[in-house]
C-alpha cells in the first residue's frame, strides 16, 4: 500500500494530489477540515473547505481565496478525487476523502460521533487508510449523553438565578459555546455572550443553526445580569471584563473536566464534561465503521492508541503534527474579538 499522505515540514501532504491538509505553514493549496486556528491558518494561496464552514473561515482569516465544496461532492485535482464529509466536530467541519488509482484515504481532522444541533453529524466513510485524531484516545474517556450535561448546566444556572448570582460558563468560543448555547433554557434568564463568542453566533445563525437569543453585557441592566448565564472563552477568566459580574458562580465545560484535579486547576466552582471530540468508544466505533485496516493516529494519545490498535489487528502508526487543543484557539479568538467587544460594549473588553 502506497503512502498517499505523508508529513512534511509544512503539514500533511497528499503526494499525488500536490496539496496539503490543515498545513501549519503557508502552502499554495490547502484543504481545511475546520476553522479552529490549529487547523486553519492564514497565508495559504488557495483554500478548499466544506461549504458550511466558509463564512467561519472568512470571519477568522479575512480575505482569503477559498472554494466551498458541498458535502459529498467530488472534485479532481492532479488525478486525485477529493470529497468532504461531515466530521460532527463544529459547523463546517469535514473529513477529507482522497481516492487515487483505486486506493482511498480519509483524513478525519477533529471529530465527534454524538450528533448535536449545531453541525452536520459525523458520517463514517469507507476507506483503506484512516487518519484519526486521538485527543481523548484513552479508555478512561467516556462521555455522558449531552442532554444529561445540558440538564445539569440548566439546573446549575437555575439555582444561581434564584439566588441572584450570575452564572459564568467558560468554553471555547468557536463550536463549544454555540453547542452549549443550543442546550440552554432561555426561560431561566438572559444569556450574555462575550465579544469573542457573539460574532460566531451570528455566523451560525446565518447558516440556519437555531440558537436562543443572546445579548452583549452592555445591553443588560443589573436585574438581568443577576439572573444571567454568561458564555465566555477560557481566556476571559480573571479579566476586567468578567469582574463586572460581581459575585458570580463560574464553571468550565470541557472533556478534560473528567480528570480529577482539572476543575481545581481551573479554579472554578463547577466542571461540566462536554467535549466536541470523540471519546474512546467513539474513536473505536469511528475506526471500525471505516473498514480501514491501516490507521494513522495524530495529535493526542498517539502512542497508547497505536499500541492498542496494533494489538487488535490493525496496521497502525502515528503522524507527528503541530495540531493542538482547541483551548489555544481562544487566546487568538479573544485577541481578535477585543476590538469588536470594546466597540459594541464601550467597555474595557479590549483588555480581556
Q: How far apart are CA 22 and CA 133, in angstroms?
A: 13
* Same-domain check for residues 230 and 286: no
**Residue 352 domain-assigned?**
no
Same structural domain, 265 and 285: no
Task: CATH number of the domain at 307, please.
Answer: 3.60.15.10
Claim to verify: residue 94 and residue 206 sit in the same structural domain: no
Three-class secondary structure of residue 42 per DSSP: coil
Which domain does 79 fall in, by range?
5-140+277-324
Total domains in the fold of the chain: 2
54 within a domain of the structure (yes/no): yes
Domain match, 99 and 211 both = no
Please answer whether residues 39 and 111 qualify as being in contact, where contact means their C-beta atoms are separated by less than 8 angstroms: no
282 and 266 belong to one structural domain: no
Q: What pLDDT does 255 receive? A: 95
181 within a domain of the structure (yes/no)? yes
Q: Is residue 341 part of a domain?
A: no
The residues that bridge with 96 in the sheet, in sequence order, are 84, 107
Query: What is the predicted pLDDT for the residue at 338?
Result: 36
Same domain, 108 and 229: no
Asked if residue 340 is part of any domain, the answer here is: no
β-pair type (294-300, 249-253): unpaired
d(CA 109, CA 107): 6
Q: Are residues 11 and 125 in the same domain?
A: yes
* Helical H segments across 163-211, by residue range: 176-182, 198-206
Same domain, 113 and 181: no
- Asked whether 323 and 222 are in contact (CB, 8 A), the reply is no
Residues 173 and 99 in one domain: no
Quick one: 9 and 110 in the same domain? yes
Q: Which cell is 54 given?
A: 466558509
118/193 same-domain check: no
pLDDT at 132: 98
Residue 291 φ/ψ region, left for φ over 0, alpha for ψ in the -120 to 50 degree band, beta for the rest: left
Walk along the chain (352 residues) and give the pLDDT tens digit of each residue. Answer: 579 999 999 999 999 999 999 999 999 999 999 999 999 999 999 999 999 999 999 999 999 999 999 999 999 999 999 999 999 999 999 999 999 999 999 999 999 999 999 999 999 999 999 999 999 999 999 999 999 999 999 999 999 999 999 999 999 999 999 999 999 999 999 999 999 999 999 999 999 999 999 999 999 999 999 999 999 999 999 899 999 999 999 999 999 999 878 877 888 999 999 999 999 999 999 999 999 999 999 999 999 999 999 999 999 999 999 898 765 444 444 344 433 333 333 322 222 2
Give the pLDDT confidence score for residue 51 in this predicted structure.
Answer: 98
Q: Within this chain, do residues 135 and 16 fall inside the same structural domain, yes or no?
A: yes
Q: What is the CATH number of the domain that holds 193?
A: 3.40.50
In total, the chain counts a number of residues equal to 352
26: in domain: yes
- The answer to the question of residue 57 being in a domain is yes
- 318-341: burial string, b at 16+ Cβ within 10 Å, e else: bbebbbebbbebbebbbebbbebb
In a domain, 342, yes or no: no
Amino acid at each position: 500500500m502506497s503512502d498517499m499522505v505523508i508529513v512534511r515540514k509544512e503539514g500533511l501532504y497528499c503526494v499525488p494530489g500536490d496539496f496539503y491538509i490543515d498545513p501549519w505553514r503557508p502552502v499554495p493549496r490547502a484543504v481545511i477540515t475546520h476553522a479552529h486556528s490549529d487547523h486553519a491558518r492564514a497565508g495559504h494561496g488557495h483554500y478548499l473547505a466544506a461549504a458550511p464552514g466558509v463564512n467561519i473561515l472568512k470571519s477568522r482569516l479575512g480575505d482569503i481565496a477559498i472554494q466551498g465544496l458541498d458535502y459529498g461532492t467530488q472534485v479532481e485535482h492532479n488525478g486525485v478525487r477529493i470529497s468532504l464529509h461531515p466530521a460532527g466536530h463544529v459547523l463546517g467541519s469535514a473529513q477529507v476523502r482522497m481516492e487515487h488509482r483505486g486506493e482511498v484515504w480519509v483524513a478525519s481532522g477533529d471529530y465527534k460521533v454524538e450528533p448535536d444541533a449545531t453541525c452536520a453529524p459525523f458520517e463514517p466513510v469507507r476507506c483503506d487508510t484512516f487518519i484519526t485524531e486521538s485527543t481523548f484516545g484513552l479508555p478512561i474517556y467516556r462521555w455522558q449523553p449531552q442532554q444529561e450535561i445540558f440538564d445539569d448546566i440548566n439546573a446549575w444556572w437555575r439555582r444561581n438565578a434564584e439566588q441572584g448570582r450570575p452564572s459564568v460558563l467558560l468554553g471555547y468560543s468557536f463550536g463549544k459555546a454555540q453547542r452549549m448555547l443550543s442546550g440552554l433554557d432561555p426561560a431561566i434568564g438572559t444569556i450574555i455572550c462575550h465579544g469573542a463568542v457573539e460574532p460566531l453566533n451570528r455566523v451560525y445563525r446565518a447558516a440556519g443553526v437555531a440558537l436562543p437569543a443572546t445579548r452583549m453585557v452592555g445591553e443588560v441592566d443589573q436585574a438581568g445580569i443577576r439572573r444571567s448565564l454568561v458564555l465566555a472563552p477560557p481566556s476571559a477568566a480573571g479579566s476586567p471584563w468578567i469582574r463586572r459580574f460581581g459575585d458570580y458562580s463560574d464553571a468550565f465545560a470541557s472533556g478534560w473536566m473528567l480528570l480529577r484535579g482539572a476543575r481545581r486547576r481551573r479554579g472554578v466552582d463547577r466542571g461540566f464534561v462536554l467535549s466536541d471530540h470523540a471519546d474512546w468508544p467513539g474513536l473505536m466505533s469511528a475506526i471500525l465503521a471505516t473498514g480501514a485496516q491501516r490507521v494513522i493516529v495524530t495529535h493526542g494519545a498517539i502512542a497508547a492508541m497505536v499500541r492498542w490498535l496494533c494489538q487488535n489487528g490493525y496496521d497502525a502508526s502515528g503522524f507527528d503534527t503541530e495540531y493542538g487543543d482547541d483551548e489555544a484557539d481562544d487566546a487568538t479568538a479573544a485577541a481578535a474579538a477585543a476590538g469588536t467587544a470594546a466597540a459594541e460594549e464601550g467597555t474595557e473588553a479590549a483588555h480581556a
